[in-house]
Structure 1
Amino acid sequence: MLTLSTFDGTDVPTHCSTADDRARRDQATRELLTTRAATTDEAERRRLLEQAVELNLELARGIAQRYRGRGAEDEDLEQVAFLGLMKAAAGYRTDTDVPFIGYAVPTIRGEVKRYFRDCTWTVRIPRGLQDLQGKIARVLPILTQELGREPDLDEIAVRLNVSPADIRQAESARGCFNVISLDRPAGETDLPLGDSIADAEDPYLHHFETVDMLGPILDDLAPRDRRILELRFIENRKQADIGTELGISQMQVSRLLSRILADLRVRLAPTTAAAA
C-alpha cells in the first residue's frame, strides 16, 4: 500500500482499497487543510496545500479516466483533473460536515467539463449554453458544500436565476467534443483505435466515485448501524441472528436495516446519478 507521511509524521494511504483507508485519507486531508487555514505563514500554507493535493491524486486520476476517449489526450485530462483538485483543496471549508471528497469530486469533474467546453468542441452549441455550462460547473461545488449533497437541477436553476429548462438544455449538450478517427493507431501498436475500445465500461470505473464516497458516509454512521451492516452484508448473518446478538427483535432489525439503507441511498443518489 502506497502511503504519504504528513506534516505530523503520520503515514496516510494514497491508494485506497478499503473504506477505512478512504476514511483515513479524508480525515488527514481535513486536518491538513484545517492547519493551513489557521496559519498565516504563506510558505507553510503552500506546503500543507501541496500535501493535501498529493494525498488525493488517485481521486483526480480516477475522474480523469472517466473522460478518456472523448477527443482529449490522456495527459491533458490528468493535468486538468489535478488543477481541479488543487482548486478543491484551496476552496474547501473545513467548518462544514461535508467530507473533502464530497466537495472535491464535483469540483474536479466541473474543471474537466469546462476544459471540454472551452477546448474540444466539434459540434458547436450556442455560446449562451456554453457560458451556462461554465456557471453550472462553478456553482456546483459551492452548493454541494452548502447542502451537504449534490444539488438537483431546480436548486441549480434557483441559484443561477435561470429556468430549470435552461439547466436541462445545457446539461443535454454535453458530449459535443472533438472526434478521433477510429482508424487511428492505439498507442505504440498498429491496432486501430476502434478495435481497442472495450465493449462495455469497466465496472470499477463506473462505480469509482460512488465507492469512494461511501467510506466517509459509513464512517459517520452510529456504531450500532455500522455493526448491523457488517453482520448482514459482510458476515452474511440472518436478521434473527443479528437481533439475538444485539438484544433486539428480528422486526426491529428489519426496520433498522430499511432505515439505514434508505439513508445511504439518499446520500449516495446524487453521486450515483452523476457517475452514470
Structure 2
Amino acid sequence: MSRAAHPVPPDGFDEAFVAGVLDDALAHDARVYGLSGLQGTGKSTLAAQLVAAADMRGLRAVALSLDAFYLDLPQRRRLARRVHPLLATRGPPGTHEVALACTTLDALRDGDSVTLPAFDKLGDRRLPRTRWRRVADVDLVVFEGWCLGTPPQDADALRVPVNALEREEDPDGRWRGFGNDALARDYPALWRRVDRLLFLQPPGFEVVPRWRWQQEQALQAREPSRPGMTRAQVERFVQHYERVSRHALRALPAIADVVVALDADRRPRPDPVRERV
C-alpha cells in the first residue's frame, strides 16, 4: 500500500487514501480487515468510508466495532462488585463479551445471516436485540477497535501506576492485573480472526484526551436532549485506557501489517505507510 499526504476533512479521510486502504484489503483477500487505533483516531469514520467505497465497487461490506461488544451495565456492575470497582467502566480489557465477538465474526466470514450487537454510549447500555441490525452474505468485514491486536504486558510493567487513577483507585494493581490477564487469556482468539491489521498511529497518547473530548462533543451534538460526559469526566474516563494505549503505541507498530502515522490533527503524515513484510 502506498500513498501521498492526504488531509482529514471534517467529513472524513481523503477519497484516495480510503481507496488505497480498500485496495490493500482486497489485494490480501482480507475477509476481516482490522482497524486499530487509540480513542479518537478516526477508526469509525474510516470504517464507514471503507464500507461506502466497497459498495461503489459492487461489494457487500459491513463495519463492526469492538465497542459493540461491551458488557452491558448490569454485567459490569456485577464484575465491579466481585473483582474491582473500576470494572464498572466500559472499554478496558475484561469488559467485552469476547466470545460473542468471535462467533459474530465467524458467522460473517461464513456468509451467514447475523444480527450485529449495538451499544448506546450516551446511555452506557447495550441496545436491545430488537434494535440490532441483520446482515447476510457479506464480502468484507471492517472490524475496528481501540486496542485491536494489542498483546498483554509483562507482569513487571504493571507494578508502577501510569496515572492518578491507578495510583489512587488501584494501588494494589488488582484492576490492571485483571485486565492484563484478560488480554492474555481471552482476546488473542479474537485478534486471530482478523486477516489483516492496519494501525492508525497517533503522535503520542497526549493527544488522546483532546480527541476523545471532540468525539464526546460530536456524540452530544447528534443527541442534544441526552446527557453526556463533561470535559472533566472525559479526562478521567481516558485514564482507564491510558496503560493499554501506551503499550499499544509501543507494541503495535511491530505487529500490525500496515501502520499509518497521524499528526496531531489526525491527518495521515506524508511519510510512506509502513508495511510488515
Larger Rg: 1
Q: Shared fold (TM-score greater than 0.5)? A: no
Question: Higher strand share goes to which structure?
Answer: 2
TM band (smaller chain): under 0.3
